[in-house]
Structure 1
Amino acid sequence: MSGLGLWPRGLIGRVTLVLLGAIVVELLGTFILVSQAERVLLRSSEAHRVAEQLVVAERVLSRTPQAHWWEVAPSLSTRHVSFAIADAPPPVRGAGALSRAAADAVTEWEPSLRGRDLRIAVSGPGSAQPKRLVGALRTQSGRWIQFRSREAVTGWTPSWDWLFSLLFLVGAVLIVATYVVRTLAAPLRALSEAADRIGHSHRRVTVETHGPQELRRLARAFNEMQDRIAELVESRTRSLLAVSHDLRTPLARMRLRLGGREHPGDREAMADDVAEMGAMLDTLLDYLAGGDGSEPDPAQPTDIAALLRSLVTSMRRADAPIAIDAPDALEAIVRPVLLRRAVMNLIDNALKYGGDAEVRLTADDAMVHIMVRDHGPGIPTGLREKVVRPFYRVDEARARNTRGFGLGLAVAQRAATVHDGALSLEDAEPGLLVVLHLPIAGPDQRCEKESGNILIRF
């Protein structure tokens, strides 16, 4: 339908055109059915009258002297049928299927006329004039009783009143339909205007969630989309603020060393500062660019048990032991690069703030559970929703002595979201237990393309 030049582009025009088309089709169908039924009724009624009055006329004439038939026959005429007497049958023109159908209808109403010399036709004086039922019945004396219907039995000429009524009805329905459709489309117009205003000001545009169920869902989805966009922008802003703030300390140390006398070990210290700044930038870029499907890390069947054991082996230190409890093999569909980064951050946080890390892997019918526990001070319950935000630190003073700047749990939270899973923080008494829940079947990829984009057609 989109290829038709006359198909409206707007919702109002499309729905209105559909309603108008349905009304026109219904009216035309009703007109055709009523017209056909009216024709059938008129023909049947006319045949009944002709058959009945023809039998009555023959009975009256049979009891009347033949010398008076010429005067009596016209007096038997009614407003429906006229009669006359003739020595020969009238010439019948236009005999055909319609005439045979008329003769069958007459004899059906009066079975006594069957087998008689009855000639019936449907004809008229001109092709442009209505046709009428004409014919003659031969009497026992040999004369013919001619008859002619006074009312048209075929053809139907529409009146201008009907046409004006049809146009008035179509116009009225069109006006009402347009008003109703405009009312229904008003929320869509408001949503379109709200979408146009996004990005042109710092104020948040909110759409009221009322109206039909589909429009309420659309309004809620629109508002939630704005929340996600605002969170994304805030996250990027916080990242710039955080990196600029954390880079000031090593930059200040480098300025002091460059502005003063050179001391033994300055070169090594400056190299450490440069390495620290590089690590910060790498961590930031890793967070900003990863975990959203844009990196080459497709979901694939992966042995999570082997992945965790390899990760623990590479991170194990002599002064910070890492224990692991995992089955020999446990396969699930995951993004291995993103999952490895998330678990590495969880283990790194446990080592930094708890002094040790215990990794455990379990599974049930549909989910994989990766648990990382430490024996540190834990995180207060009221702050657990905040610590999964990027660049948030529970203890800003102590955080200055630790590397990184608050992205460990944020990366794990993103990994859980990308995998259609969840991240939970629980008390371990003592310490903190962080659990990463992932579906064994992997994230929903029914609409996902190779480029990571999603295309929805309508």
Structure 2
Amino acid sequence: MNQFFPRSLFGQTLLVLLAGLIVSHAAGSWIYTADREQAVRAVGGFATAQRIANLTRLVEDMPREARQRIVAALSDQSFRVSLAAQPTAVQAVNDDVPAARAIRDFLVDQLSLGPARQPRVSASAAEGPPFGPGRMMGHGPMMRGFGAFAGFRDLQVSIPLADGSWLSFATALPAGGPAFSAQFLLSMGIMALIIVAVSVWAVRRVTAPLASLATAAERLGQDVNAPPLPETGTTETRQAARAFNDMQMRLRRLIENRTRLLAAISHDLRTPLTLLRLRAETVENAQERDKMLGTITEMDSLIGATLQFAREESASEPRRPTDLASLLQSAVDEMSDAGLPVRMESAEPVVYECQPAALKRAVRNLLDNAVKYGKAGTARIRRASRAIEICVDDEGPGIPPSELARVLEPFYRVEESRSRETGGVGLGLAIAQSIVQAHGGVLTLSNRETGGLRAMITLPLSGKPQSTAG
């Protein structure tokens, strides 16, 4: 059932609104048609009673020898009239049908009949009046007093005349037409289309700012220097946009302050390191001097890598369409020219809007990591159905599964010692991941079945961030 239920706020709001409108529309239509049928029956019943009273006065005013001709002329297939010495087989009053009592009382009043000349009225009840006789939903001034005449289907009336004869009537209200006529259905359809169109417009207008806010949040996750969100719409929407822009400004200031702080620390630390280097060079013991200079060099590299990591996170390189296959080949060629064992499999051009310098830095870090810890690196790129995949495979021993997620953390390395033989301080993969995430992508590490480690960059073609995975 849930698979047919819309997942978006727009879809759910529109569904709830339309469901309520449909239910209220259907209930209103049913009430209208039921009330209309009752009103038609009430008017028909009153008209029938009035006609019987008028015809009775007409026949009674005629000479006795002309009455039969008048009665024959008045009778037809739907309204039968007869004049006889005895009444037809009609009950005195059918108390089960309120319309019978109402018609009898009406005739007594209209014809001024005394107690000795009471009419006989028999009526069969109409089928299932929705609101009961005289209980119509719409009781306007024109319908006041008509409701009691609505509750019969077949009617028989016998009225005693002054000369002792009986004038009898037999009729029936015609069956009601279809509950929903073609015009009614057409008008309801037009109204439904108008309501649906207005509902879609209204719901879209209300939910559109939320979609803009979600897009701005995704854009902020990729670029902290993205343009601010327009503060338009309803009061609540403007407040949300203003709070979002304030948050973005605070994040930008936080990153800028951290970068300046790291730069200041780097500068302040390098000054005493330079003094230590000068003093270490004066040490006469060559073995001790080399150890001290090596330690100082490692500390200087650590400071430089830390500052570079902070700068990479706060970089705001403009994006432009770039052939990623050429970019990857360029990084491989540069490292190959330097004598490093890297290569790239042939690939078709893949154009993607990115920060080319930053993305090249991420690829170079992955290739450098493959050479240092996996003997050699092989790069490949392909366009999948919804993403671009860049893979870098090495020929090393791989990484324990429990360490795959942790090696992406800053300053973390699988080997316990940060030896100068392999180099690095554990920031290469962290920088690469930061760059990939800024493009809305994901960097994942996995051990290949044939041996070695695979680092895969997945960049979404839609430009939306992917869910991170270890």
The TM-score range, normalised by the shorter chain, is 0.3 to 0.5
Q: Please, what TM-score do these two structures have when normalized by structure 2?
A: 0.46
TM-score, normalising length: structure 1: 0.47
